[in-house]
Amino acid sequence: ILNVEQSPQSLHVQEGDSTNFTCSFPSSNFYALHWYRWETAKSPEALFVMTLNGDEKKKGRISATLNTKEGYSYLYIKGSQPEDSATYLCAFFLYRDDKIIFGKGTRLHILP
Amino acid sequence: NAGVTQTPKFRILKIGQSMTLQCTQDMNHNYMYWYRQDPGMGLKLIYYSVGAGITDKGEVPNGYNVSRSTTEDFPLRLELAAPSQTSVYFCASSPPSGGTGETQYFGPGTRLLVL
């Protein structure tokens, strides 16, 4: 059974603090890993598409790294702001079976 | 571009009723997907399509049917609604260039309640 694990499930961070969370995935047959940001009552929006081991992507205060050999990706948020409150989903794309597996998400709450 | 649109936004069904959730995209994307989102469970893939006339089962296809007669439309049909199908349904599409590894663009969701 292929599993994509995200941790922690939920996180409370003080405004202005930096934070990070993890997506773990099977390291074999890797094709791509996506990060999505999902605000309450809205639909998921793409943040990053990561394909190469050692990839590092950045968008404003948010960045992500990828380690395909050990099967994990980190998402970092620098200087958290209230608008960062959302669920962050990662999705693993398995080339062999043309399959997409989503993690359950990390729910981030920014405290004022 | 309207992107990915879904109708209806919200629906209440009685057990045993049937309905079709509509999904349309105007981005000329080959790949389209249907997901359901249950509390604490993330997104589960129901069905997907790699192009007009081609559909494949995802992780949780039981109780659902799909068709893809055009590139733009990917309706999801519930034939005999059950309480277990109470969920939020998201349709998504991705560009034609790279298959399932491409970024997916999601619709606004359809909230379905089966009583």
DSSP character string of B94-112: E-SSSGGGSPPEE---EEE
Query: pLDDT, tens digit, for every residue of A57-88?
Result: 999 999 999 999 999 999 999 999 999 999 99
pLDDT on residue B100: 52
What's the DSSP call for residue A17?
-
CA distance B4 to B25: 4
User: Residue A94: which pLDDT band, with cuts at 50, 70 and 90?
Assistant: confident
Distance from CA of A102 to the nearest CA of B (A): 6
Dump strand ranges (E) for B4-95: 4-7, 10-13, 19-25, 31-37, 43-51, 54-57, 64-66, 76-78, 87-94
Number of inter-chain CB pairs under 8 A, A vs B: 50
Mean pLDDT taken over chain A = 91
**Minimal-distance CA residue of chain B relative to A1:** B59
pLDDT on residue A97: 61
pLDDT on residue A75: 98
Q: Specify the 3-state DSSP secondary structure of A100.
A: strand
**CA neighbours within 13 Å on the CB side: how many for A38?**
27
Cβ contacts of A92 on chain B, cutoff 8 Å: none
Query: pLDDT, tens digit, for every residue of B36-89?
Result: 998 777 889 999 998 899 999 988 999 999 999 999 999 999 999 999 999 999
pLDDT on residue B99: 54
Tokens of A58: 């950045």
Q: Do B101 and A31 touch (CB under 8 A)?
A: yes
C-alpha triplet A98, B109, A7: angle, nearest 5° = 60
Tokens of A108: 């981030």
User: Residue A26: which pLDDT band, with cuts at 50, 70 and 90?
Assistant: confident
pLDDT on residue A93: 82
Dump strand ranges (E) for A8-103: 10-14, 19-24, 30-38, 45-50, 56-59, 62-67, 72-77, 86-94, 99-102
Beta-bridged to residue B63, according to DSSP, are none
Cβ contacts of A59 on chain B, cutoff 8 Å: none
pLDDT on residue A67: 95
Residue B61, C-beta contacts closer than 8 angstroms, at least 6 positions apart: B46, B47
* Candidates A29, A100, A107, partner chain B, best to mutate (most B CBs within 10 A): A100
